[in-house]
A and B are shown apart, each in its own frame.
Chain A
Amino acid sequence: GQNIDQPTEMTATEGAIVQINCTYQTSGFNGLFWYQQHAGEAPTFLSYNVLDGLEEKGRFSSFLSRSKGYSYLLLKELQMKDSASYLCATLDSNYQLIWGAGTKLIIKP
């Protein structure tokens, strides 16, 4: 079956760094997305990885290891506005998106 696992909730301190992990098992693989979703709002696109390695985009970076079925989203210099849910989603062999349940990130001052 297809499955994506990510922690339900994480807490971090303003100004610090946090890493949100995602492991996946899917039928085929055509890439992995990270989205940010603030409460009551729609998701917004953060990153896409299809090759192994680290993609850096400002304060956010995303890493992928296809052999391990593993990705992480790294957030640096955390700000209060980063409090949100972070959704991991993979594209399977049919280019269907498989969504994780999301990780709620709580930032404390």
Chain B
Amino acid sequence: GAVVSQHPSRVICKSGTSVKIECRSLDFQATTMFWYRQFPKQSLMLMATSNEGSKATYEQGVEKDKFLINHASLTLSTLTVTSAHPEDSSFYICSARTGRENSPLHFGNGTRLTVT
């Protein structure tokens, strides 16, 4: 089946630093990838839709200058949390579809970010 690889799985950083999270589609090409954030005991919240070769589409309330998304190839999207603060501590998950718009999302394993 389709595999989405996300790295790192866990990261602890100091407040004010930047963290880059990578999301790769291993056995398929993903023109679109989705970045989610999930706080404890809460639902998945879509942050942005990453489009290969063009600018990402951000959801309302998500700061595009803080959460930089780059989708330079059909198999790689990156999310950079810039100048991280403790309130950015969360579980970040990327996902992609292998087919049509009603095909299921395949998720990476997620990145647990802790900002101290």
A-to-B contact residues, CB < 8 Å? 30-31, 33, 40-45, 48, 50, 87, 91, 95-97, 99-102
Interface residues of B in 30-62 (CB under 8 A from A): 42-46
Q: Select which of B45, B93, B101 is within 8 A of A91 by beta carbon.
A: B101
In Å, the complex CA distance between A33 and B43 comes to: 14
Report the separation of the CA atoms of residues A40 and B104 in the bound assembly, to the nearest whole angstrom.
21
Q: How large is the interface on B (under 10, 10 to 19, 20 to 34, 35 or more residues)?
A: 10 to 19
Q: Is the interface of A mostly helix, strand, loop or mixed?
A: loop
Would you give 11 A-B contacts (Cβ < 8 Å), ordered by A?
A31-B102, A40-B112, A41-B109, A42-B6, A42-B107, A42-B109, A43-B93, A44-B107, A91-B101, A97-B105, A99-B43
Q: A99-B44, A100-B43 are in contact. Are A45 and B101 (CB under 8 A)?
A: no
Task: Mark contacts of B88-116 with chain A using CB atoms, 8 A cut-off: 1 yes-contact digit, 0 otherwise.
Answer: 00010101000001101111111010000
User: Using Cβ atoms and an 8 Å threshold, which residues of chain B touch A102?
Assistant: 43
Which one, B42, B46, B106, B112, contacts A97 given CB within 8 A? B46
